[in-house]
Every structure is written in C-alpha cells, then in structure tokens.
A and B are shown apart, each in its own frame.
Chain A
Amino acid sequence: MRGLSLNILLAIVWTLFVGEFSLRELAIGVLLGFAILSIFPLSLGTGGYVRRTLALVRFGLFFVRELTVANVQVALWALLPHPPLHPMIIAYPLRLRGDNAQTVLAATITLMPGSVAMGFNPERTVLYAHTIGLGTVPEARASLKKVEDALLPLYGQGAVQSGPLEDTA
C-alpha cells in the first residue's frame, strides 16, 4: 500500500510541476514515479510493490498473448469442417489459495486456449474445467498449470500451497 500511495503522490506532484492536470500528464507522472520507486527500493521500502507491479505487467503480456492464441484457435475450429475438439472435463489440483486469487484464476482460464472453468470442489482445492483440443489429460493439466504459474508471483507465498502436482510434469 505504501508503494502505491507514494506512486500516486509522485504522479500528483508531477502534474503540479507541469501545471497541467490531464490523464496524459498523470500517466507520465505514474511512470516517472514508478521509475523513482524502482531505483531507490531500499531507502523507500518499495521493493515488494515494484516486484508485484512488474509481475502484474508480465502477467498482462502473458494474458494478451494467450488470449490471442485462444481466439485464433477457436476461430479456426469454428471454420474447419471437422474440428479436433476432443472434449473432456478435467480436475485440476490448485496451488493458489484464497477467494480472490482463485476467482482471477477461474476467469483467466476461461479466456485461455482450450479451457472453460466450470466449478470448484467444496473445499476449494480442485478446479474443474471443460477443455477442448488440449490432447490428453496430463497435457490439459499442464496447460492450466502454465496459467497458474503466471498468476503465482502476483499473490505471493501466502497464497501458495504445495500440493500433489507431480503427475502434471
């Protein structure tokens, strides 16, 4: 929280210097402020904030790339005469813990290639997903694991639970 409020404060200071309060100057201020926070993480105590923000940006890039792949793939299947759908419902043992993290994971999986989230078990330790075109069950699990791996750095160690995932390797 400290890092975020410092970043917003620096952005407001920047708009005061420029003397023009607009979305564009505010965005430039946020970027410049973020640069300052990442150059002096020790004296400002913002190392965690910088790391999490970079993880968010990395996840955003991963998300856009996979969303594009997913769309081209489904569009192709919609047009092919005999699409190789091979539908399955798989159970995926979750390492992410916490309602927020699991909600984001389920929503992301629905937009990723080949999978639509369908439900959780009552203990919230397993995610069930309908998959098409993902090959065998281990391959489908590996595809969901890729999404979870991209989300893990965003939610830190508190949200991680080591589980029986050996069969997905």
Chain B
Amino acid sequence: MNDFNAVRDIPILLGAFFVLTAAIGLVRFPDLYSRLHASSKLITLGSAGIFIGVGLEFAQTEALSRLAAVLLFQFLTTPLSAYLIAQAAYLRGLKPLLEGPDEWNALGKAALLDERLEETGGG
C-alpha cells in the first residue's frame, strides 16, 4: 500500500465509487426509467474514471491514444443504448411510475416503434 500514486489512483477510486453507486441505484430506484439514469450517467463517468487512471499509469502514446478512443466510444454508445431501451420499453407499454405529467402520452403505441423500424430498414 506504500505505492499510492495520486494521479493514477484518485481517478480509479472515484470511478469505482460511481460504478458502485450505479449498482446500488439499479437495485434501489423504483422503475426501469429511473434506473436508466443510474446506468447511463454513473456508468459513463465511473468507467471513464477507471480508464483514465489506467491510461495515466502507462502514460505512453499508445496507451493514451487508446484511452481517447475508448472514452469517445463510451460517450457515444452509452446514451444511445439508454435512449433505445427507454423508447422501446415505453412504446411497448411498460408503465412508468410518475409523480408528474406524461407529456408524450404515447404509452404502448408500438405502431410508432414499428413505423420507425420500417423507415430505417431495421426489424
């Protein structure tokens, strides 16, 4: 434990803390939509912290360029998957627990989802 390196270990510890709270949030939040807040935001910054710590440990061009690529794709893909999960669950009719209005008002309208899939050629 003597070789504590602040530049390397603080990002890793912070990242591990956020990933842990993400896991706790996933269990404790009331419904899928609230849980997505924990899994999208906390996992993004948490894993970014761990990656940054590991990248700084090596501090070489090869490690840092891969770190940049990993971070870029992490930030691109996590919000997209959260978006798709929320949209699919809602349009297939998974009821959200709300304390406010539902201004979309399209719960269970799977036709919207199918139209969009046909538009983009998916299925």
Contact = CB atoms under 8 A, between A and B. Distances in A.
A91 B100 CA distance: 12
Given A67-B45, A78-B21, A79-B24, A89 B103 contact: yes
Interface in A74-132: 74-75, 77-79, 83, 85-91, 106-108, 110-111, 114, 116-119, 122, 128, 130, 132
Given A78-B22, A130-B96, A107 B17 contact: no
A110 B79 contact: yes
Interface residues of A, number: 36
Interface of B is mostly: helix
Nearest to A128: B104
A104 to B, nearest CB: 10
B93 interface: no
A70 B82 CA distance: 15
Interface of A: 22-24, 67-68, 70-71, 74-75, 77-79, 83, 85-91, 106-108, 110-111, 114, 116-119, 122, 128, 130, 132, 136-137
Interface of B: 17-18, 21-22, 24-25, 28-31, 33-34, 36-38, 40-42, 44-46, 61, 64-65, 75-76, 78-80, 82-83, 86-87, 90-91, 96-104, 106, 112, 115
